[in-house]
Structure 1
Amino acid sequence: RINNTFKRADEIQWGRGINPGDEGFVDYFLPIVADAEAGFGGVLNAFELMKNMIAAGAAGVHFEDQLAAVKKCGHMGGKVLVPTREAVEKLTAARFAADVMGVPTLILARTDAEAANLITSDYDANDKPFLTGERTQEGFYRVKNGLEQAISRGVAYAPYADLVWCETGTPDLGFAREFAQAVHAACPGKLLSYNCSPSFNWKKNLDDATIAKFQDELSALGYKYQFITLAGIHVNWYNTFQFAHAYARGEGMKHYTEMVQEPEFAAREKGYTFVSHQQEVGAGYFDDVTTVIQGGSSSVKALSGSTEEEQFD
């Protein structure tokens, strides 16, 4: 769906006569990194899932080392790891799928071992140092979570992935440094990923100066792919709440005009275009298509006589 949206945006741009090299041209076909969760099953599921991700246009795909049946968000409790070998086999399955399809896709290996304290099996030698000897009512084995377990996973995954990502519970540069150093000692130059998550209370953990330089310091450690999961939805929900709150308390169209529409107009100089929402979704493009089909003229074009044409210059 995301790639289909990019295609439509490119068609609209082309319909306006804007081509590569022209002022204002936007390359909409940005690389998409897709979330394959824990592979939704075994190695064959991971293999088929990767093929489908590639067919959908994903440039990169990340897999995590949790048990798919009880998979959780990385910042929640109750996470259960699969053995290291099983996680490696899923990464291998993903790479094999890309090779079969002849596509140089990027594979990201994520570990939740910093926080996860359960594992499905005790057979893997890489996992044995972290076993506590205890088991749960579901039959899972308890393990000692933390930095060392995360490092053991990151080092094991590095040869099978283009980037390695350790999900963490706090924005901790010290943890990030130790993890990076350990992975690079085993696999020099390995690219790393970091989730600057909205699940962290940033100001509760760091001061303003540290927050300001946080990403630059991560980059210096080798974390070249940094992202904020759910940033967009937090922006949307917060601003929608602010609008609804003011509107419901009597500010109505005054609030919409001052806090939404006028800032939209002002943002056009930065490239913002959604203020003309009919054109944004392709009304002008389909007007052009209609005109061609009808022999060069049409009396049913959507933008002709529209409020956008008359009021949004």
Structure 2
Amino acid sequence: MLKHILTKGTMYKGARSLTSSTSQPSSVVNLKTFITDEVRKIENWWAQPRYKEIKRPYSALDVLKHRGSLPIESSRYAFSFQAQKLFKLLKDKFEKKLPLHTLGVIDPVQMSQLARSKELEVMYLSGWACSSTLVGTTNEVSPDFGDYPYNTVPNQVERIFKAQQMHDRKFFLEKVEGLTNDSTTDYLKPIIADADMGHGGNTTIMKLAKLFAEKGAAAIHLEDQMVGGKRCGHLGGAVIVPSSTHLSRLVATRFQWDIMGTENLIIARTDSFNGKLLSSSSDPRDHKFIKGTIEPGIKPWCDRLAELENLPTVTSEQIALEEVEWYSKHQVFTFDEALQKQVSQTEYEKYLKLKNEQLRDKQFLSLKEMKTLAFQASPTKRIEFDWDAPKTKEGYYLFKGGMEAAIERSLYFAPYADMIWLETKTPDLQQAIWFSSKIHETYPHVKLVYNLSPSFNWSAHGYNKEKLKSFIWDLAKHGFVLQLVSLAGLHTNGLSFWQLAKSFSKDAMKAYVDQVQRPEKLENSDILTHQKWSGAEYVDSVMKVLQNGSSSHTLSTSGDAFTENEF
């Protein structure tokens, strides 16, 4: 396999073990020996408890071949330690059936405030928030359609992570110099970030995973939506990709991180619970959920649409009305639903029996296999089923989303991911418990994620104060360990600033003092002294080292002109 590079006498500089951080690279060794040693190190790495349940469809040699000649320890990433920290937190909470709950932040200010909360041990960064509040290389803001440059969220991760490091250095200096006895603040809380649908094919996904890792994310989540058909999980019109496509995304992400020698975590999210469109029928795992018509000789909607668009006088309004009429007139069903409408109950029960026998040996049946079984159950009847006729203008298939689809997809994804995320329509505890029970029947180790979304009108779902307070802990009992209010930072930012703006327009500085300064002081907010918060005193300390004491009085940031002494 590697005959061309394993020529006798070929020499190569060795590398240190993945787990070593002190030994020096070995002397020049035979390349074949080096490869054997490094493959063993990778395999030993994968054998650790961290990867006990993770499936990889590639070998350690595949990783080594694509790693390059630079010793792996030459690029020890800080975020890899953050990933280890996150994994330990998740493991501990999952075993104790406790939540690792947190809030979505949008900037270093919110990061620094969340850091002061001992109970919130991780932080989340939303793609929705980045799309709607930040500017990427295009200097545009937009809804969450995933149409921004793919480095937008990684760049915000880097901004947050560098701010974490700055505040951590400042805080560490204060502790060393005995200026604080704070033992609860942790500025290096692991960042969990939104990778949307991967923004492209496998090579793009690998680049995206690399960016997230290099810039400081401990974990990312990838959803099974289509590039170009991406929507926020609480909007309509989302297009789901074939199960195999999303599996490839998960594998590509893991492979990239294996090449880098890092331990970042993958969250596989499915939007199939709300999904109504599928981009392709290429994967037989999805065939049971694709809808078709049962009337013979129907003119496909796309054919009719082409005719309408070719008419010189037709308007867009007329086309829209005819589209609604076409889908209202021609009902659509999954193959099983279509079959049940066209055969007797006895024949349908025979089909189900044959189908269940087949499913003992495999997880799914293709449409062709289902048609074969239908013929065996009812050989005298012609079964009508056309899933092409109702396809959309873009070529998308109609998809029966729901809990069954979400469970099946999650079971496909689970061996390749560290966590599973079910995106839901409503905050339904019983629904979540049912999902958890079905996943844990097969994979009891799987950690689940729940989006405590601000898109839900929580007050309209029958939750009283006690149930609202216990919801997170009730979910955690069923394996939903990671729980997050994805857009908490966005909403609190907008609300507090709107309240101030409204009051300031009338009461001027009274409003500012009443609504900002006094509450900051009352709540012991470190933002009250924003110069100190920003690290001015830390930089002052650095300058004293560089100046060797000279000009320490005249250049000190805490001199007579330092107005924060007033506080």
TM-score (norm: length of structure 1): 0.94
- How far apart are residue 86 of structure 1 and its match? 0.7
Q: Show CA shifts across 1:149-175 (max 9, x none).
A: 111111111111110001111101121
Answering whether residue 500 of structure 2 is matched by residue 276 of structure 1, we say no
Q: Is 2:461 the partner of 1:303? A: no
1:152-204 superposed Cα distances (whole Å, 9 cap, x missing partner): 11111111111000111110112111111111112112100000000100001
5 Å matches for 1:8-157? 8-18=166-176, 23-25=181-183, 26-133=185-292, 134-157=390-413
Deviations 1:205-255 (Å, cap 9, x if unpaired)? 13223222211111011100000001011111100000111111x222222
Once the 2 structures are TM-superposed, how far is the Cα of residue 262 of structure 1 from its aligned partner? 1.0
Among residues 141, 149, 160, which one is paired with 1:2 in the alignment?
A: 160
Are residues 1:217 and 2:474 paired? Answer: yes
Unmatched segments (≥5 aa) in structure 1? none
Higher mean displacement: 281-290 or 140-149: 281-290
Structure showing greater radius of gyration is: 2
Q: List per-residue Cα deviations over 1:124-145 (Å, max 9, x = no partner).
A: 1221111012310111001011
Q: Deviations over 1:26-78 (max 9, x none)?
A: 33111111111111111121122112211112111111100022211111111
CA–CA distance in 1 between the matches of 2:534 and 2:182? 18
Check whether the contact 1:67–1:80 (CA below 8 A) recurs between aligned residues: yes
Q: CA deviation at 1:19?
A: 7.8
- 3-state SS in 1 of match to 2:263: coil
C-alpha separation in 2, matches of 1:188 and 1:126: 22
Q: Deviation string for 1:73-107 (max 9, x for gaps)?
A: 11111100110011011101111111111111111
Query: CA contact under 8 A between 1:290 and 1:298: conserved in structure 2?
Result: no
Distance in 2, Cα, partners of 1:170 & 1:119: 22
Q: Identify which of 475, 496, 499 aligns with 1:242.
A: 499
Paired AA for residue 84 in structure 1: S
> Residues 19 and 169 from structure 1, CA distance in 2 versus in 1: closer, same or farther, beyond 3 angstroms?
farther
| 45 and 108 in structure 1: CA distance in 2 versus 1, 3 angstrom threshold | same
- Paired with 1:181 and 1:93, the residues of 2 have a C-alpha distance of 29
Q: Distance in 2 between matches of 1:309 and 1:277?
A: 8
Instruction: Give the Å deviation of 1:15.
Output: 3.3
- Answer with 151-160 or 298-307: which moved more: 298-307
> Structure with the greater relative contact order (CA < 8 A, sep ≥ 6): 1 or 2?
2
**Partner Cα distance (1:69, 1:110) in 2:** 17
Tell me if the contact between 2:531 and 2:564 (Cα under 8 Å) persists in the aligned partners.
no
Cα deviation for residue 259 of structure 1 reads 2.0
Distance 2:195 2:447 in 1: 19
The corresponding residue for 1:265 is 521
In structure 1, C-alpha distance between the alignment counterparts of 2:229 and 2:284, rounded to whole Å: 23
Q: How many residues align?
A: 307
Instruction: Give the ranges of 4+ consecutive aligned residues of structure 1 lying more than 3 Å apart after TM superposition.
Output: 17-20, 306-309
Residue 10 (structure 1) shift = 1.4
d(CA) in 2 for partners of 1:207 and 1:54?
39
The answer to whether the Cα contact below 8 Å between 1:7 and 1:29 also exists between their aligned partners in 2 is yes
The whole-number CA distance in structure 1 between the counterparts of 2:270 and 2:177 is: 42
Contact in 2 for aligned 1:38/1:71 (Cα 8 Å): yes
Distance 2:490 2:449 in 1: 21
TM-score scaled by length of structure 2? 0.53
Structure 1 residues 254, 217: closer, same or farther in 2, change over 3 A? same
Bigger share in strand: 1
Per the alignment, do residues 158 and 253 of structure 1 end up closer, same or farther by CA in structure 2, a change over 3 Å counting?
A: same
Q: 3-state SS of the aligned residue for 1:226?
A: strand
Structure 2 matches for 1:172-183, cutoff 5 A? 172-183=428-439
Instruction: In structure 2, list runs of 5 or more residues that go unmatched.
Output: 1-158, 293-389
- 1:292 is matched with which residue? 545
Q: Is the 8 A contact 2:553 2:559 kept in 1?
A: no
CA RMSD of aligned residues (A): 1.6
Distance 1:69 1:282 in 2: 42
* SS of equivalent to 2:526: coil
Show the counterpart of 2:459.
203
